[in-house]
């Protein structure tokens, strides 16, 4: 059967790069990008694009039918920090968009679904180090509650209706192409921009806040990797733990100082500190490695080099 992919949330931090990657891999016309508003010129000109409200079932169904979509990547979501400001809006967006796609898949209109979960599904009572795949989960953020609930529904739709839904618990994703919006891990991107621009950064998390992180290239490989794995190898239908590296603001600033010796970091933690404090420091992702062969490539210093190299033109 011919593959046709719909990416919902194609203008976001991960969506942009996922769209580029999949268009290069499968051909532009096979990958339909969509978002609530139009994206930048590069994205708009690289293939088909639809303005689409992920919460509007009829509109999503129309796009799925018109383009004969087989695979959906649902990347639209409100992230942790913004969701704390707009709890109901976040809940409605994160849940309605998921139900729309799960129901289309249940009705046989879509074959395969990717839906991202997050380290935010864990909470303060979860073991912080080497957090297991299966453990205590008491998320305390709206975002985390929506992701944990979404995981339960994914598993339910798989077991009850045979929906082929696949999911990863993303750590913080670091990238240079498209800025993230409203996440707690966003500091690890902002710091590179400020380092190149001002040689100093005021961090909204404290120096010791260690969080699981990943470079975008790894995140894209994981996302496409789980979608291309044999169906029988995807044994977990809630969401897989996924890891690459863990670092705190002090450690990333030391890594930056190897290239920008005058770089200085100072700390003014805000409400996002509480969110970060409720999340794990490191993740055990052996299930993803065993079941579908996940392997990361980037560690902190390699990521720092790539980020600085790719961003320096913007601040030259």
Strand pairing class (71-74; 5-8): parallel
Instruction: Collect all residues with Cβ–Cβ distance below 8 Å to 77 and sequence separation of at least 6.
Output: 9, 93, 94, 97, 116, 143, 146
Query: Of all helices (H) and strands (E), which one includes residue 261?
Result: none
Nearer to ligand SER, 184 or 241 (CB): 184
Smallest gap, in angstroms, from Cβ of residue 82 to ligand SER?
A: 8
- Residue 155's Cβ-count burial label (10 Å; 0-12, 13-18, 19+) is middle
User: Which of 55, 112, 52 lies closest to 78, judged by CA?
Assistant: 55
Q: What does the DSSP assignment read for 42-71?
A: HHHHSS-EEE--TT-HHHHHHHHHHTT--E
Q: Which of 73, 114, 157, 170 binds ligand SER (CB under 6 A)?
A: 170
Is residue 172 at the binding interface for ligand SER, with CB under 6 A as the rule? yes
Binding-residue pattern over the window 48 to 87 for ligand SER, x denoting contact by CB under 6 A: -------------------------------xx-------
Q: Which of 126, 185, 246, 248 binds ligand SER (CB under 6 A)?
A: 185
Is residue 13 at the binding interface for ligand SER, with CB under 6 A as the rule? no
Q: Which of 32, 120, 220, 252 binds ligand SER (CB under 6 A)?
A: 120
Query: Of all helices (H) and strands (E), which one includes residue 27?
Result: none
User: Which of 278, 131, 306 lies closest to 209, judged by CA?
Assistant: 278
Q: Which stretch binds ligand SER (CB under 6 A): 84-92, 114-122, 189-197, 251-259?
A: 114-122
Smallest gap, in angstroms, from Cβ of residue 303 to ligand SER?
A: 15
DSSP state, 232? G
Nearer to ligand SER, 214 or 311 (CB): 214
Q: Is 156 a catalytic residue?
A: no
Is residue 191 at the binding interface for ligand SER, with CB under 6 A as the rule? no
Catalytic residue among 73, 143, 170, 240: 143
Q: Rounded distance, CA 150 to CA 89, Å?
A: 15
Q: Which stretch binds ligand SER (CB under 6 A): 64-72, 118-126, 199-207, 226-234?
A: 118-126
Is residue 148 at the binding interface for ligand SER, with CB under 6 A as the rule? no
Binding site for ligand SER (CB under 6 A): 79-80, 118-120, 143, 170, 172, 183-185
Residues that are catalytic: 143
């Amino acid at each position: 059967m011919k593959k046709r992919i719909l990416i919902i949330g194609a203008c976001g931090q991960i969506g942009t790069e996922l769209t580029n990657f999949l268009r290069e891999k499968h051909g532009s016309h096979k990958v339909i990008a969509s978002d609530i508003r139009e994206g930048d010129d590069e994205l708009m000109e690289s293939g088909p694009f639809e303005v689409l409200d992920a919460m509007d079932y009829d509109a999503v169904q129309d796009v799925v039918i018109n383009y004969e979509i087989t695979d959906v990547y649902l990347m639209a979501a409100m992230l942790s920090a913004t969701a704390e400001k707009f709890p109901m809006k976040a809940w409605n967006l994160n849940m309605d968009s998921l139900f729309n796609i799960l129901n289309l898949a249940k009705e046989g209109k879509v074959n395969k679904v990717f839906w991202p979960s997050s380290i935010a599904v864990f909470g303060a009572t979860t073991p912080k180090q080497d957090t297991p795949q299966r453990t205590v989960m008491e998320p305390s953020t709206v975002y985390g509650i929506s992701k944990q609930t979404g995981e339960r529904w994914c598993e339910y739709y798989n077991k009850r209706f045979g929906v082929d839904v696949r999911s990863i618990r993303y750590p913080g994703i670091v990238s240079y192409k498209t800025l993230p919006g409203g996440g707690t891990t966003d500091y690890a991107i902002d710091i590179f921009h400020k380092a190149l621009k001002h040689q100093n950064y005021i961090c909204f998390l404290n120096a010791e806040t260690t969080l699981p992180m990943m470079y975008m290239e790894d995140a894209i490989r994981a996302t496409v990797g789980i979608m291309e794995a044999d169906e029988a190898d995807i044994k977990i239908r809630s969401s897989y733990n996924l890891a690459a590296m863990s670092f705190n603001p002090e450690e990333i600033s030391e890594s930056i100082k190897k290239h920008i010796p005058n770089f200085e970091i100072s700390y003014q933690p805000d409400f996002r500190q509480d969110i970060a404090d409720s999340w794990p420091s490191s993740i055990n992702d052996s299930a993803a490695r065993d079941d579908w062969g996940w392997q990361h490539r980037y560690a902190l210093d390699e990521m720092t080099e790539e980020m600085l190299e790719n961003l320096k033109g913007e601040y030259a």
